Chain A
Amino acid sequence: MSDGRLQLRAGTLYAALERLESAGAVTLDREESEGGPPRRYYRLTPAGVALLEEEGERLADNAKLVRDGLRRLRPA
């Protein structure tokens, strides 16, 4: 999904999943098990999509702030 740019430790991943689930941002989509431990797949809920959009905008605003600041620092 992130093309390997974001790598989370298992503990970090499941802690985040727990928080997102309790916030209603993700929900269990399906469970698969092919001889090994169960593998769960989650999907975003509408509230999760809204949260993601909001977070994306916040990050874009922050990035714009940094770009504007750098532009002012550079000599014309």
Chain B
Amino acid sequence: MTYDALLALAARLVAVRYPDRADEIVATAREAGRDGSRWAELASLFALALRPPSTRSVWLHGALLAAALVAVAAVTPVALIVPFGLLILGVLDARFAAAATLFWLFRLVTSDLADPQILRWLAMLVGVVLAAHVTRLAIRRAAVL
């Protein structure tokens, strides 16, 4: 995919988020990118268009994703490895980390306390704490974008 195609995609995404000023934003990025930083400007457009509008939306989208994952995990245990991927993506976008947090939290509170596998329970607890921390950092970083 060429730079122009990616820029067109970014412009469409920006127009969804900022319908009244998309032309201005994209023109600014295009102009600023003339000094050789066009890829960085392009990346900043994607970050602007895809950033969560509020902390509440981070958790809302995360909850929807986690609910979908819970449903899939009920069918196939392969889904249990997905949260690890979400946690990695969560470094870039807090919504993924929030989904991992809520998924592991759900698994934690619904786990059988009589289960002798205490290590598994502890691993989930560590996962919840770690994912919550990543979510918090990603939200904070998005706030200063």
Q: Give me the interface of A with B, judged by CB distance under 8 Å.
A: 9-15, 36-40
* Contact residues in A for B145 (Cβ distance below 8 Å): 11-12, 15
Q: Say which residue of A10, A38, A40 sits within 8 Å of B32 (CB atoms).
A: A10
- Residues on A with C-beta less than 8 A from B32 are 9-10
Chain A residues near B46: list those with CB within 8 A.
11
**A-B interface pairs (CB < 8 A), number:** 48
Q: Which 8 pairs from chain A and chain B are nearest by CB? A: A11-B44, A11-B48, A9-B44, A10-B29, A37-B23, A37-B27, A10-B28, A15-B145
Residues of B within 8 A of A39 (CB): 24
By a CB distance below 8 angstroms, the chain A residues around B18 are 14
Other-chain contact of B44, A12, A36, A38 (Cβ < 8 Å): A12
Which residues of the other chain, A, contact B51 by a CB distance below 8 angstroms? 15
Interface of B is mostly: helix
A36 vs B26: C-alpha distance when bound (angstroms): 12
- B137 part of interface (Cβ distance < 8 Å): no
